[in-house]
């Protein structure tokens, strides 16, 4: 049963979208898939015709060659809180754990924030891979219920990613550690680490995974939100898919051993790695 308090919030913000009380769309579903000319549609035509075939080893991969350069340089918008940065980093560390490789390279804070860009796609023009909070979400032209969106540029080659940004909807949601923060009368809580783990999957080249194929995947096109609700793990198939793009190194090449190497449901390991990374950058 959906709490009355939660129902009232979404009746106020988007009453006609009550179906989202059960499945909260993490990045726009098919609308998100089709958001760019060089996006999923072009990949279906030239880059990865098997993306929609669950029997293919390339299923749910929108960029089969991944990024043109690894590690991926990125910047945080200056208005991200310390907690938001830590949980974003923790999500990055989990994807790195899944490959045994360094995938991300932190270049410090960006001098711009999400609200400095005139629309959704203009943030790609600076050639900086940024993570932004958008308090003026309406200018992105995305519906209010969309939690975040990842946009990318693969214009040089359909199967590669050249630049990408993640935009978080902080106009309509409180995005942070859902185990620590509380909802308000008009905004529900979204767990930053869970949402970032999903969006970073897109950032790295993964597409949505149908729940009938893998209902444990972080790349399912829905995400439960609310106080105390998290989805901070990868499925075995998530690990296999990301390794299809980037390969593996060390213990990550043995997925059974990898999964047993830490408490799979415990995010403290990755939070500790994230905190160490931020402290290292400060020093």
d(CA 255, CA 243): 10
Predicted confidence (pLDDT) at residue 243 exceeds the cutoff of 80: yes
Question: Model pTM?
Answer: 0.85
Predicted confidence (pLDDT) at residue 98 exceeds the cutoff of 90: yes
Give the model's pLDDT for residue 169.
Answer: 93
Residue 14, classified by CB atoms within 10 Å of its CB into exposed (0-12), middle (13-18) or buried (19+), is middle
Give the model's pLDDT for residue 218.
Answer: 92
Give the model's pLDDT for residue 105.
Answer: 95
Give the model's pLDDT for residue 144.
Answer: 84
Predicted confidence (pLDDT) at residue 159 exceeds the cutoff of 60: yes
Give the model's pLDDT for residue 47.
Answer: 58
| Torsion sign over Cα 25, 31, 33, 35 | negative
Give the model's pLDDT for residue 59.
Answer: 96
Give the model's pLDDT for residue 152.
Answer: 86
Give the model's pLDDT for residue 81.
Answer: 96
Please write down the long-range contacts of 69-74, taking CB distance under 8 Å and 24 or more positions apart: 70/101, 70/102, 70/103, 70/246, 71/102, 71/103, 71/104, 71/105, 72/103, 72/104, 72/105, 72/129, 72/203, 73/105, 73/107, 73/129, 74/104, 74/105, 74/106, 74/107, 74/128, 74/129, 74/130, 74/131
Domain ranges in the chain?
A: 23-282
Phi, psi for residue 116 in degrees, rounded to 5? -75, -15
Q: Per-residue pLDDT tens for 120-143?
A: 989 999 989 999 999 999 998 888
Q: Per-residue pLDDT tens for 191-231?
A: 999 999 999 999 999 998 988 999 999 998 888 899 998 99
Minimum mean pLDDT range among 70-79, 188-197, 264-273? 264-273
Query: Across the chain, what does the average pLDDT equal?
Result: 82
Give the model's pLDDT for residue 23.
Answer: 38
Confidence of residue 266 (pLDDT cuts 50, 70, 90): low
Confidence of residue 34 (pLDDT cuts 50, 70, 90): very low
Give the model's pLDDT for residue 264.
Answer: 54
Q: Confirm if 94 and 60 have CB atoms less than 8 A apart.
A: no
Q: Which two tokens stand for residue 128?
A: 């900086």
Give me the mean pLDDT over the 79-92 stretch. Answer: 96
Q: Which CATH class is domain 23-282?
A: alpha beta
């Amino acid at each position: 049963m959906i709490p009355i308090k939660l129902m009232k919030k979404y009746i106020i913000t988007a009453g006609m979208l009550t179906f989202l009380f059960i499945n909260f769309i993490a990045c726009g579903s098919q609308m998100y898939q089709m958001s760019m000319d060089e996006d999923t549609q072009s990949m279906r035509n030239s880059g990865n015709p098997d993306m929609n075939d669950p029997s293919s080893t390339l299923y749910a991969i929108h960029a089969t060659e991944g990024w043109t350069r690894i590690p991926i340089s990125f910047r945080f918008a200056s208005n991200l809180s310390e907690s938001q940065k830590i949980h974003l980093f923790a999500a990055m560390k989990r994807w790195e754990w899944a490959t045994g490789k360094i995938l991300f390279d932190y270049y410090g804070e960006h001098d711009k924030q999400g609200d400095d860009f005139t629309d959704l796609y203009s943030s790609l023009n600076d050639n900086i891979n940024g993570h932004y909070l958008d308090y003026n979400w309406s200018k992105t032209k995305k519906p209010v219920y969309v939690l975040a969106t990842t946009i990318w540029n693969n214009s040089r080659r359909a199967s590669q990613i050249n630049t990408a940004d993640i935009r978080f909807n902080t106009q309509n949601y409180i995005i942070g550690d859902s185990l620590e923060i509380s909802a308000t009368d008009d905004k529900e809580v979204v767990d930053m680490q869970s949402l970032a783990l999903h969006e970073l999957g897109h950032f790295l080249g993964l597409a949505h995974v149908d729940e009938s194929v893998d209902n444990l995947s972080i790349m399912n096109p829905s995400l439960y939100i609310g106080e105390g609700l998290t989805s901070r793990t990868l499925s075995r198939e998530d690990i296999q898919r990301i390794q299809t793009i980037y390969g593996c190194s060390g213990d990550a090449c043995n997925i059974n051993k990898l999964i047993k190497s830490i408490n799979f449901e415990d995010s403290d390991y990755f939070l500790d790695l994230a905190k160490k990374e931020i402290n290292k950058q400060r020093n």
